[in-house]
Amino acid sequence: MKARRSTELVEKKDFYKELFSLAIPIGMQNLLVALIGASDALMLGRLTQDAVSAVSLANQIAFIMSLFSGAVVGGGGALIAQYWGKGDWTMVKNLFCMLIKWAFGISFVFFALAMFAPELLMRIYTPDTALIKIGASYLRAVSLSYLFTGVTQCYYLIMKLEGKAPKSVLISVVTLITDVVLDFFLIYGFAGVPKLGANGSAYSTVVVELVALIWCIAESHRGESIRPDLQGFQWFSIDITKDLFKIALPMLGSSLAWGFGFSMHSLIMGHLGSDATAAASIASVAQELITCVCKGISVGAGIMVGKLLGQNLFDKAKEYGKKFCHISIWAGIIHMALLCILGPIVAEFFVLSETAKHYLVIMLVFSAFYVFAYSINTVIVCGIFPAGGDAGYDALSVFFASWCFALPLALLGTFVFHWPVIVVYILMCADEIVKIPWLYPRYKKYLWLNNLTREESSEMVNA
């Protein structure tokens, strides 16, 4: 009995040690990335309300791009984690190269759109000519950063698998500091630097994304790190590509359904006026800052469960899944408490009209319930399920919760019934809460307990 209890304590200690080694650095990195967005919003918010509103709408383009690249990197990450657990380092490197090619291709498309058709993109979100002018100029300036972002995410993925998550945090710390310093000079025009306003924020973004990519490439050439090479870029396998898209396409469907829905939030708020847009933008920044912990736990869950599945340790993977379910609930409670405490503090840092301040306070109160549900859904649906290939449920739940419930009501409330701004906002954000009752029954089916790796290396062919 004592030996069994001792073994359980050791396993529990190992579990939390591995989780913390992944979740804390990844959560910190997500927080630092969110802080970059928050610092931009804060400095622009001290400039004019139109500036923060226009940049918030313009950044929806980068957000949509991240949905495409995130689905590819996320799907590839599930496969790489399992091959990593299996010890197939050649396949890990080949998959890494495949992800870089896909991520760069996606980034290039969005770069071209933002560079050559920014006014058209802005008109999708707002009819306000002042916001369109500011946002279009910002998009053209920031578009170059899109070419770097997707590739950097591929490097971050490998660094996490290699146990170098703290290094990615260091990169994010340096880029955050660089971004804040550059924003200070470029937005406001101190020390003889021209005052560029919103465009100053765009130029600082280009610089920090380039710095992050160069640093990641340099880090991959240190020691025995996995790094891309010519053979990896030339490698191609139909079977492995099919495996990738079996996971990535449902994740993409889910990401697009959720992301376009989230982007529709900006469209709806944009048609409700500058006060509503500014308040919702700041509430979104607060949500991003608060939910960094659950995103770190979600990535950690995917990596830890994926490695076990790649080794056919199904019972242990099931045990880990149960632990992550419990952790997700506690994460939700912590996020709710943090938003209640920090939300009112965040509101004081922005120059807003009295109407916008009133909107913001009420939005932050409802956001506390939103982040609780979001935390649970993120850890289980975006962490545990895709680790074993069950990526389809997320797309299904998002479709029904967002597109069949929350968004239709919000659109009707905005354009037909002209409901108050706060009522429309609550309806928009109710989708995460609606998903909760259906989540646990899906988990108990254990459709995510799958080994996705292939045994036959002869199936791999070079291009």
- pLDDT single digits (tens) 11-47: 778 888 888 887 777 777 777 776 676 666 667 766 6
- Non-local (6+) Cβ contacts of 25 within 8 A are 160, 165, 166, 168, 169, 296
For residues 164-185, give the mean pLDDT: 83
**CA trace torsion 66, 70, 72, 78 (10° rounding):** 180
365 sits in which H/E element: helix 354-379
What are phi and psi for residue 251, nearest 5 degrees? -65, -40
- How confident is the model over 402-459, as pLDDT tens digits? 899 999 999 999 999 999 999 999 998 888 999 998 888 899 999 999 888 876 443 4
Greater confidence (168 vs 1) lies with 168
Residue 367 has pLDDT above 80, yes or no: yes
Residue 264 confidence (pLDDT): 81
In whole angstroms, give the CA distance from residue 161 to residue 154.
11
Greater confidence (352 vs 79) lies with 79
pLDDT-based confidence at 462, cuts 50/70/90?
Answer: very low
DSSP 366: H
Q: Where are the domains of the chain?
A: 7-451
Residue 1 has pLDDT above 50, yes or no: yes
In whole angstroms, give the CA distance from residue 38 to residue 35.
5
User: Within its chain, how far is the Cα of 216 from the centroid?
Assistant: 19
Greater confidence (420 vs 60) lies with 420
- How confident is the model over 105-142, as pLDDT tens digits? 999 999 999 999 999 998 888 888 888 888 899 899 99
pTM for the predicted model, two decimal places: 0.73
Structure token pair of residue 397: 């739940």
Contact criterion met (CB below 8 Å) for 296 and 23: yes
Structure token pair of residue 62: 């980068």
Q: What is the mean pLDDT of the chain?
A: 84
